[in-house]
Structure 1
Amino acid sequence: MSEQVPVEQEIVIDCKEKKFDDCVFYGELNENNEMHGYGQLCFFNGDECVGQFQNDYIHGYATLTTQKYKYTGSFVNGQRTGKGRMEWPDGDVYEGSFTNGVFDGEGTMKWGNKCVHTGLYQNGDKCGFGTFVHADKTVFEGTYQNNLRNGSGKFTFTNGNFFTGEFVNNQLLKGTMVFGSGKECKFELSQEIIEIENANQFIYDSIVGKLMKEEIKIEELNENEKKMVFCE
């Protein structure tokens, strides 16, 4: 008895045409002449969407290609909602959860070959625990709120040194630098030092970076008190 070979079946759809002011749809329509089922939406500016439709909305799994980005994943009533992947022409990629078109839930954002953030998002912003890998492979692990470092965080450097501290709106308040030798250096920042730093600049590029380059030194005033000094 000869072995039966599976035969690939083609999906046959009732392809119809529906015209809009800015695009044309080719695919399945329901009894109300609405896009419903599988189809292709071709915009006159070159954008297109191929996938599932329901009641005149992109709904289900589809690929939307525009002049600004490409999205492949889940849609609900025309909005990017559910799991998906978004790519930009400059090489940036986000892969994870969406709600109503914005990052929401667990996801990973890659900025080309430079930086990567993996963690939680809320309404498009980093929020909750996340891991951020910088271009030089320095790693930050900690909590975010409103897209800024807020709460406890840890920087791990490629030479084995690491830094733990408390952050408020990306500003460092206090922390401990632990060197590869095991030596610890604890400190708190005064308001004067915080004001010297650019509030919009990542703390890694400011206070912590200066510590590593020895542009800031810790002076011990007494057994229980230390201060940070900017070197000339």
Structure 2
Amino acid sequence: MSCSVSSFGFSEKSEIKINHEKSESSLGQNDKVHSAIFSIGILEKQHISKRKLDSSIFSVVASERKSKKRKNEEPCNQERVVYDNGDIYQGQLEAGLRHDYGELLFKHGAHYKGQFENDYAHGQGELTLSDGYVYKGQFKQGRRYGLGTENIINERQGQFEAWYCDRMGVSTSSNRAEYQGQFGERGRHGQGKLTYANGFTYEGQFAGNLRHGQGKLMYKGKIVYEGQFKKGLFDGFGKLINADGTLYVGYFEKDHPCGQCEIIYPNGTVYAGEVDGEDCFVKGKLTSFIGAKEYIYDLEGSIGRSFLA
């Protein structure tokens, strides 16, 4: 039988201190998330690297522990732990380790509630940070892992989205977003959907917390880009629909059209050949129509502006 609370399961002789130089205010949101997650997992030296220790914003010292037994119920090893830095944990132990459901409240306002196994946040849980970030989903050995949903307060968007919003007259003042999908050891990993407050939605593959692999970027339900991503940027083969309706089909490199392509303009003009979007260079044929007449031009050189300008 399970009790309704859970605990931070250090042994009575266990004492763990983390010296750090970063303050909470100096950390980005993703740093705070990882720091909170590291604190939920066991913090023994053999289980955590120096880099993770340095990034932690918590100083955890096991102190007074109490084991209780409810009347007319089986022993549940319920306990309450108050740490010297103000953090509070309440819950269950099994063989001296955190196990089953528990809650951990950090002094700066972060809060975790959910399942534990062998001293780790493990199973279903919910992590809330003081700035409003919320993750609900699966944990594995102290990390977000598996299926989950996160509400992000300050999600960075790509250069293309900023440019597109500017062309469409859309405000970019809000960086709120929601992610639903798979998580790995380094954040978003696998298949997922990221929805931005300003109308953009990305559906596709993620790796290392970034858009990476095959995916599509939509604006208010209409596909803007569909193709390959690399480390958050358009990279590889894809199709891009410009704000004025111009269609680009071809290759990209770090968000820039680059290589063989075909560009179809709203008036029916078609360009087929090579482009270098960063240097505004083209080499190919431009076919245009005036009335019933078709005109073909050989182009080579700088066009003076980027396709995305």
User: Is the 2:2–2:100 contact (alpha carbons within 8 Å) kept by the matching residues of 1?
Assistant: no
- Any stretches of 5+ residues in structure 2 without a counterpart? 5-75, 154-174, 289-294
Deviation at 1:166, TM superposition (A): 0.9
For residues 303 and 243 of structure 2, what CA distance do their matches in structure 1 show?
A: 25
Residue 217 (structure 2) aligns with = 132
Deviation at 1:66, TM superposition (A): 0.7
**Pair 160,223 (structure 1): closer, same or farther in 2 beyond 3 Å:** closer
User: Is the 1:149–1:167 contact (alpha carbons within 8 Å) kept by the matching residues of 2?
Assistant: yes
Match of 2:137 among 73, 81, 84: 73
* Superposition pairs of residues 51-130 of structure 1, within 5 angstroms: 51-68=114-131, 69-89=133-153, 90-130=175-215
For residues 242 and 253 of structure 2, what CA distance do their matches in structure 1 show?
A: 21
State the structure with bigger RCO (CA 8 A, min sep 6), 1 or 2. 2
User: Is the 1:59–1:76 contact (alpha carbons within 8 Å) kept by the matching residues of 2?
Assistant: yes
- 1:172 partnered with 2:245: no
Deviation at 1:156, TM superposition (A): 3.1
Deviation at 1:35, TM superposition (A): 1.6
Deviation at 1:55, TM superposition (A): 2.0
Residue 102 (structure 2) aligns with = 39
User: Is the 1:176–1:187 contact (alpha carbons within 8 Å) kept by the matching residues of 2?
Assistant: yes
Match of 1:26 among 80, 90, 93: 90
Could you tell me the TM-score, scaled by structure 1's length? 0.72
For residues 87 and 98 of structure 1, what CA distance do their matches in structure 2 show?
A: 14
AA matched with 2:255 = N
Deviation at 1:80, TM superposition (A): 0.6
Could you tell me the TM-score, scaled by structure 2's length? 0.56
The alignment-based identity, stated in percent, is: 25
Identify which range, 71-80 or 127-136, moves more after superposition. Answer: 127-136
Deviation at 1:62, TM superposition (A): 0.3
User: Is the 1:219–1:229 contact (alpha carbons within 8 Å) kept by the matching residues of 2?
Assistant: no
Quick check: which one's strand share is greater?
A: 1
User: Is the 2:216–2:223 contact (alpha carbons within 8 Å) kept by the matching residues of 1?
Assistant: no
Residue 144 (structure 1) aligns with = 229
Give the length in aligned residue pairs. 199
For residues 262 and 81 of structure 2, what CA distance do their matches in structure 1 show?
A: 64
User: Is the 1:35–1:57 contact (alpha carbons within 8 Å) kept by the matching residues of 2?
Assistant: yes
Instruction: List structure 1 segments (4+ residues) > 6 angstroms apart after TM superposition.
Output: none
For residues 248 and 257 of structure 2, what CA distance do their matches in structure 1 show?
A: 11
Identify which range, 164-173 or 129-138, moves more after superposition. Answer: 129-138
Residue 200 (structure 1) aligns with = none
Q: After superposition, what is the alpha-carbon deviation per residue over 1:103-154, rounded to whole angstroms, capped at 9, x for unaligned?
A: 1111111221332111111112222111012479551001012222221110
CA RMSD of aligned residues (A): 3.2
AA matched with 2:128 = T
- 1:226 partnered with 2:290: no
